[in-house]
Amino acid sequence: MPRNPRYDVLFEPVRIGPVTAPNRFYAVPHASGMTNAMPRMRAAFRETKAEGGWGVVCTGYVSIDPASDDSPLPYATLWDEDDVRSHALMTEAVHRHGALAGIELWHGGGSVMNRLSRTPSMSPSGTAWMPTQVSYIGTQRPRVMDSQDIRELLEAQRRAARRARAAGFDIVYVYAGMGYLPHEFLLPEWNHRTDAYGGSLRNRARIVRELLEVTHEAVGDRCAVALRVSLEELRARPSEHAPSEAHELVQLLADLPDLWDVKMDAETTDCAPSRFASEGSHEPVISFVKSLTDKPVVGVGRFTSPDTMVGQIRRGVLDLIGGARPSIADPFLPKKIAEGREDDIRECIGCNICISSWHDCVPVRCTQNPTIGEEWRRQWHPERVPPAPHGATVLVVGGGPAGLECALTLGRRGYEVMLAEAADELGGRLRFETRLPGLASWARVLDWRRSQLRRLANVTVYRGNRLTADHILELAPVHVVIATGSRWTPLLYTPLEVPSGTLAGPRVYTPDDVAAGVRLEGPVVVFDFDNYYMGSALVEHLAAAGLRVSYATPSGLAAAWSVMTNEQPQTYRALAAAGAEVHTLTRVESFDGEEVTLIDVFTFARRRLPCRALVIVGARLPEDALYRELTARRAERVAAGVASVTRIGDALAPGAIAHAVYSGHRHGRELDAGDDARALRRDAPLRALDHARTSA
Ligand code: ADP
Ligand code: SF4
């Protein structure tokens, strides 16, 4: 299909200093979980974005010096010639598709612990960044930088910039954001210096200016120099010379960088989940930048709608449409717009599972795109699947995220697929969860798959069909895939987290009961040891229905795991807005239908709360009875010609939606595939030493 002319502006080239981006789609730097130990995986992951039409594809954060060591978090390095070769794999891959490659050079300053290098970290005035927060917590404080440290920092940037040029990058960054070293200089709370680098904003910005200058000197006119800067805090600070210190900073440095890459300050605002922030949430902070510089400006905002993107350009907010999450959820987003296939865009749902991968120190995962990070390791391409060896019939039982993804993948491969869903609507857990406050955009998981399935003549969907083992044996497909999900249970645990039996009795509920529309009487206590979003979202949901709700958890913090998805602060605010008391470090000891007794996990102190409904958000168990019955009736199965029965998704192992989608996709790809296709390739660092040995 031809491109919609309304979107032509998105495909205009943009000059960035000495280089030209072929279009306005800019895959901004973002953590990928892939370090220099995974150079092939990393190159293939970024190559896929370039193949999908992103005009610029950037690295994640790349350390310029061993004194900036974020171990054990998965950061990249550019410390020596091995690192140059490692990154060159990516630049070559990106260039093959006509895109530019950008590198985010980084020094963590007081935010890193240098756990591996054991060099004391440093910051402008010896202050650590968020030293009591998970990821940053440590037992050693940074040292105060002296003038020698400043000279060495500039030299480290210069060396790294030269290496970046040698590795083939087109855009080289100075990174003054997110609490990293140059950002610490900009903020007076971290910078108490009395020399030329502290005091006025002009002085606090001096280090950024000098970093930009040495980078320009190092790369000459071969590469553009970009400045990535966080403006949220500075925007809130008054200035004597401008509407805010953010304005003053942009005025001071206006045309020094070839590109402004502007963002928010902290993970929770910079990469906020859709539950609490909408598309374009950065605009109020960064919209002024273009009015103060002639250089192009890139920014993010979880943009997935081409109309919103065009709006950003036309309204003079941005020149380049930055995408981190949208480029993960759909590396082919630009190409789909170019080909008039906007409806095919697999839109990011804003769940931030991708961010959790970084916290977990593993390659990026995505709820919407199961192929991300698997481009090299499993040879999975987001837009192509291997054809089925034959057109056998496959019955997929269950139309939740796992069943939908599996049916879609099998259908794309050419199997004859029947998808049976017991409920009248597809979606599985999404049918309820997307009705919870803030989670409406998660429906994109269902919407995209449903619309793609509609185009496949070889996939038939049966709704309102609860299948039994007898039905399945009668249908006699060649393969059966069981995607029947899981159920929440009122199971409790001991302090050692050993299951201690279910809490039976009246007025004890699980999220499944709330989903089924059971009417609860207040006051309600939600007891959460799932620790992700369900507990707090239910509190909001029940409070919105007018019930008085309290929240209790054995964890030290409400929704403890949601620190991984950047949503914990907002979750606390949501609980407060719902009027919920929060009780942490506590377990449910007993419930008599009128009062619940909570017991402190450490002190064993007891507390009683009035409670007419206890909702336990804890363990989920697989809904796998159908699978077990079919496996038990082996002889009948064989007689019916059913060659395989496989469990996927929550029916195999309950987890986040991302796990279910991945499980469905993997089975869809691997059915009837040989051992080679299933093999997990192992990446390894490029080392000159090894290279010398192999060539000797
Ligand atoms: P997952 O996340 O693994 O996809 P879900 O719980 O979201 O799991 O979805 C499972 C789906 O399977 C639900 O929509 C449920 O109605 C459906 N289902 C469960 N048992 C059967 C059955 N016997 N026949 C058809 N559909 C079923
Ligand atoms: Fe978007 Fe979620 Fe995928 Fe991240 S994991 S890119 S937030 S859909």
The CATH number that applies at residue 250 is: 3.20.20.70
CB of 298 shorter than 6 A to ligand 2: no
Domain boundary among 356, 385, 417: 356
Residues 537 and 471 in one domain: no
pLDDT at res. 684: 94
Residue 680 inside a domain? The answer is: no
β partners of residue 616: 527
Q: How far is the CA of 652 from the centre of ligand 2 (A)?
A: 23
Q: How far is the CA of 392 from the centre of ligand 1 (A)?
A: 23
The token pair that represents 628 in the structure block: 């077990």
Residues 87 and 114 in one domain: yes
Residues 562 and 615 in one domain: yes
Q: Which amino acid is at 436?
A: L
CB of 444 shorter than 6 A to ligand 2: no
Task: Give dist(CA 300, CA 270) in Å, integer.
Answer: 9
CB of 422 shorter than 6 A to ligand 1: yes
Task: Give dist(CA 130, CA 332) in Å, integer.
Answer: 36
Residue 372 inside a domain? The answer is: no
Chain centroid, CA 256 distance in Å = 32
What is the CB neighbour count within 10 angstroms for residue 263? 25
CB of 463 shorter than 6 A to ligand 1: no
Residues 188 and 106 in one domain: yes
Q: What is the pLDDT of residues 341-372, one digit of tens each?
A: 999 999 999 999 999 999 999 999 999 999 99
Residue 339 inside a domain? The answer is: yes
Beta strands in 313-404, from DSSP E residues, in sequence order = 320-323, 393-397
Atom from ligand 1 closest to the CA of residue 466: 24
pLDDT at res. 696: 44
Residues 82 and 142 in one domain: yes
Residue 678 inside a domain? The answer is: no
Conformational region of residue 412, where left means phi above 0, alpha means psi within -120 to 50, and beta covers everything else: alpha
CB of 366 shorter than 6 A to ligand 2: yes
Residues 184 and 156 in one domain: yes
Could you tell me the residue range of the domain that residue 522 belongs to?
489-621
In the 8-state DSSP scheme, what is residue 28? -
pLDDT at res. 268: 79
Domain count for the chain:
3
Residues 475 and 506 in one domain: no
Residue 426 inside a domain? The answer is: yes
Pocket test for ligand 2, best of 352, 444, 659 (most atoms within 8 A of CB): 352
Domain boundary among 297, 327, 356: 356
Atom from ligand 2 closest to the CA of residue 355: 4
Which of 423, 425, 422, 443 is CA-nearest to residue 433?
443
- Among the listed residues 75, 180, 415, 532, the single catalytic one is 180
Residues 609 and 637 in one domain: no
Whether 509 sits among the annotated catalytic residues: the reply is no
Pocket test for ligand 1, best of 421, 432, 482 (most atoms within 8 A of CB): 421
Q: What is the pLDDT of residues 643-683, one digit of tens each?
A: 999 999 999 999 999 999 999 999 999 999 988 888 899 99
Task: Give dist(CA 584, CA 529) in Å, integer.
Answer: 10
Which of 482, 483, 478, 501 is CA-nearest to residue 491?
501
β partners of residue 171: 102, 224
CB of 558 shorter than 6 A to ligand 1: no
Atom from ligand 2 closest to the CA of residue 326: 6
pLDDT at res. 281: 84
Ligand nearest to the Cα of 621, by number? 1
Q: What is the pLDDT of residues 174-193, one digit of tens each?
A: 999 999 999 999 999 999 99
pLDDT at res. 694: 45
Which of 285, 446, 455, 270 is CA-nearest to residue 367?
446
pLDDT at res. 689: 59
β partners of residue 420: 397, 462
Task: Give dist(CA 289, CA 261) in Å, integer.
Answer: 10
pLDDT at res. 136: 65
pLDDT at res. 494: 80
CB of 350 shorter than 6 A to ligand 2: yes
Nearest 5°: phi and psi at 306?
-60, -30
pLDDT at res. 695: 46
What is the CB neighbour count within 10 angstroms for residue 574? 22
pLDDT at res. 175: 98
Nearest-CA residue for ligand 2 atom 2 is: 351
Domain boundary among 331, 356, 381: 356
Residues 132 and 202 in one domain: yes
Residues 100 and 157 in one domain: yes
Pocket test for ligand 1, best of 473, 484, 628 (most atoms within 8 A of CB): 484
3-state per-residue secondary structure call for 660-694: HHHHHHHHHHHCCCCHHHHCCCCCCCCCHHHHHHH
Residue 189 inside a domain? The answer is: yes
Residues in the chain with pLDDT values less than 70:
134-136, 688-696
pLDDT at res. 501: 86
Atom from ligand 2 closest to the CA of residue 350: 7
Residues 405 and 443 in one domain: yes
pLDDT at res. 267: 77
The CATH number that applies at residue 466 is: 3.40.50.720
Residue 56 inside a domain? The answer is: yes
Ligand nearest to the Cα of 349, by number? 2
Task: Give dist(CA 451, CA 419) in Å, integer.
Answer: 14
Residues 495 and 461 in one domain: no
Q: How far is the CA of 566 from the centre of ligand 1 (A)?
A: 29
pLDDT at res. 480: 98
pLDDT at res. 140: 82
**131 preceded by a cis bond (ω within 30 of 0):** no
The CATH number that applies at residue 578 is: 3.50.50.60
Residue 683 inside a domain? The answer is: no
pLDDT at res. 690: 59
pLDDT at res. 299: 95
CB of 429 shorter than 6 A to ligand 1: yes
Task: Give dist(CA 234, CA 271) in Å, integer.
Answer: 18
